[in-house]
Amino acid sequence: GISKNGQTREHVLLCFTLGVKQLIVAVNKMDSTEPKYSENRFKEISKEVGTYVKKVGYNPASVPVLPISGFNGDNMLEKSTNMPWWKKTKIERKSGSYEFETLFEALDNIEPPTRPTDKALRLPLQDVYKIGGIGTVPVGRVETGIIKPGIVVTFAPIGLTTEVKSVEMHHEALSEAVPGDNVGFNVKNVSVKDLKRGFVTSDSKNDPAKETQDFIAQVIVLNHPGQIQAGYSPVLDCHTAHIACKFSELQT
């Protein structure tokens, strides 16, 4: 819910932290309010959520808020007759202003994000398989750049270099894979034992990924029970990597 310890606040903060630029707020279970389909309750929740999304960093004018009932289908695909007070939600974006009555319309008007194909290749490995008749096949999602057959890639942090023989997605061969694609790619003369989850694939000739001993991170802390100070040693999850680290210095 929207209470102080509710998941709604945590979800909004996680969305912003993870780089989600567009947000839709659907106020569900309108059929369970007192009285049912209460306009006052919707306004109360809308105001509180609007204040919080602004506090996190979103522009409330660009975040549509809609009353729905998922169980009964109210304002999901078509405007509900149970909420005659509901007109439309209006949002402002750089591309213009938009009005929605239903969740479907709000979803349909999400602007597709641009894929960072112009950046250097980064593909964190999720798994590595040995497939009979093919060989070693690392699997992962392309985060930035492009991977295609024939390019020479390097796996960080071990610095292993090899050529990509083929790229596949859903058992179909690809001429290239772009950001957002979950792919498997066959590599030459590399054993399954040489690679593991968390390694990062990059183009050997275009800003290859390198290992590092330390880095500066901007951190958002959610409900940590103890005290965080220099020497604190949490486990770090970064893309597919899972590794222990240590806070050496806290900068403000």
CATH number where 93 lies: 3.40.50.300
Would you state the pLDDT for residue 25? 94
176 and 135 co-located in one domain: yes
86 and 14 co-located in one domain: yes
82 and 166 co-located in one domain: no
CA 143, 145, 149: angle at the middle one, nearest 5? 110
Residue 210 lies in a domain: no
165 and 102 co-located in one domain: no
Overall domain count for the chain: 2
28-49 exposure pattern, b = at least 16 Cβ within 10 A, e = fewer: eebbebeeebbeebbeebbeeb
Name the domain boundary from 108, 140, 168.
Answer: 108
Angle between the N-to-C axes of helices 39-56 and 7-17, in degrees from 0 to 180, rounded to the nearest 10 = 40
Residue 113 lies in a domain: no
Domain that holds residue 16: 7-108
84 and 160 co-located in one domain: no
pLDDT, one tens digit for every residue, the chain (252 residues): 667 777 888 889 889 988 899 999 999 999 999 999 999 999 999 999 999 999 999 999 999 999 999 999 999 999 999 999 999 999 988 888 999 999 999 999 999 888 999 999 999 999 999 998 899 999 999 999 999 999 999 999 999 999 999 999 998 999 999 999 999 999 999 999 999 999 999 999 999 999 888 989 888 777 677 788 899 888 888 889 888 999 999 987
Residue 224 lies in a domain: no
Residue 232 lies in a domain: no
127 and 155 co-located in one domain: yes
96 and 163 co-located in one domain: no
Would you state the pLDDT for residue 1? 66
Alpha carbon distance 151, 32 (integer Å): 57
146 and 183 co-located in one domain: yes
Alpha carbon distance 127, 12 (integer Å): 30
34 and 101 co-located in one domain: yes
pTM for the full model? 0.76
Measured in degrees and rounded to the nearest 5, phi and psi for residue 69 equal -130, 110
Q: Using CB atoms within 10 A of its CB, is residue 74 exposed (0-12), middle (13-18) or buried (19+)?
A: buried
150 and 86 co-located in one domain: no
Residue 22 lies in a domain: yes
Residue 103 lies in a domain: yes
**Contact between residue 48 and residue 86 where contact means Cβ atoms under 8 Å apart:** no
Would you state the pLDDT for residue 2? 66
Residue 195 lies in a domain: yes
131 and 66 co-located in one domain: no
CATH number where 132 lies: 2.40.30.10
Name the domain boundary from 44, 77, 108.
Answer: 108
Residue 225 lies in a domain: no
